[in-house]
Structure 1
């Protein structure tokens, strides 16, 4: 607004001093309007990005069913606007969809597309990074194949992001097919887990708690997925407790954020020497 007022004062002064004709003044005002509209759009895009980055970072659980339904409506409207090449409009609708459901990856990726088509490459790259952090398995192929991002393909940051988040470069790939053994032994309980991860996201899990005090349970399998730089691991189990607490929880979850943390969780022993079978894994 300050820039706009300065431009107006400058034109008025030039007119008063007889340095500008009415035609030139009209042309200058049109030019100012175009420039200020572009600046306002850039400011709005940055505001949308800043707000959604914060929401995506702090929003933990899933959105409510009501919010998910509303988000899908805005997503549909955004797709319609995008097809008509109304990119400012589609950006606004995807912003609203992402605001309602900050853990839904599609609006964030599509915001990268709509801002890229507006020439806002830095904003687009930030949206792309958010989407890659949310679900690299989906987003890496999208990023490589979506023509809306053609303007970014030679950008060094784009190349670095896609390479970094390519699932084949994640540290978990070094661990697939190997068996990790983790034992807990103390005066009242002995627990042993043997786990093996496979490329399709499945897991073999054997073992459980061998004592009846306080609880006796058996592992029945599990699944894993890449989550940002780390993993989300769910191990299923069944059994009960001898002290009247009833059945144990049917699953236990882990979120190792690095290869070292994974090895600390699943390769070693609380008492005795670390136990690992398979190829040597460097820590």
Structure 2
């Protein structure tokens, strides 16, 4: 029975791997989903959509990236993301992973966050809007990139927030929820949540942990995942861990495509408003719309 279970897990992992390796932008929702929208800049961008990962130091973010790498590159016996420590945080650079695969997405790893101050939030905003580029050091409170032009294909189109199931700040149901409010408001529509160290909590805790994580990050329940750690010294393939990592990546692509559509619709509406020249004002609390027309 164990061999039969392993056979089906391996077959399922291979199917999901091929789906992600062959991913082209629009595969999740279908090309008709973007009908009438100009998505040319996304289609021509080398690497396609960008999926960022943020989380506290020690949450298992780098370990999760390593699992994603092992899932899509079966020849790897060890991922390439370095496990971060508090002592190394000051020198962490923005780094892309899986960008060497011929498909339309990559993962973007950031340094550990969650000091909950304005300098940290400013750095996060710079990363989300592409003002800090891969290979650049992520420094807090450094305005070196103020003049960098924002370019939508360089934005993060989906964000995976990584939290540890064993973190008391998550388990108390208050700390992360309070500290992440500004992140929830800022990143809404783009968030997927990964809860690591699933193997270190009891099954009876799962639903409670999932509910608290959704409340903290603002992600939908179907975009929130419990994952076990893929240990660095594990030589044999853990198909279940890889399947879960690939489910997360597909969920992130779903969110990314949806966010791109929302952004492109917003751009289109703004252009239409400018062309029409609507002048909206209120009189006695009621909206009045006066269109400015060219006089002959």
TM-score for both structures, normalised by structure 1:
0.24
- Please identify the structure whose Cα radius of gyration is greater: 1
Structure with the bigger RCO (C-alpha within 8 Å, sep 6+) is 2
TM-score for both structures, normalised by structure 2:
0.24
Q: Which has the higher strand share?
A: 1
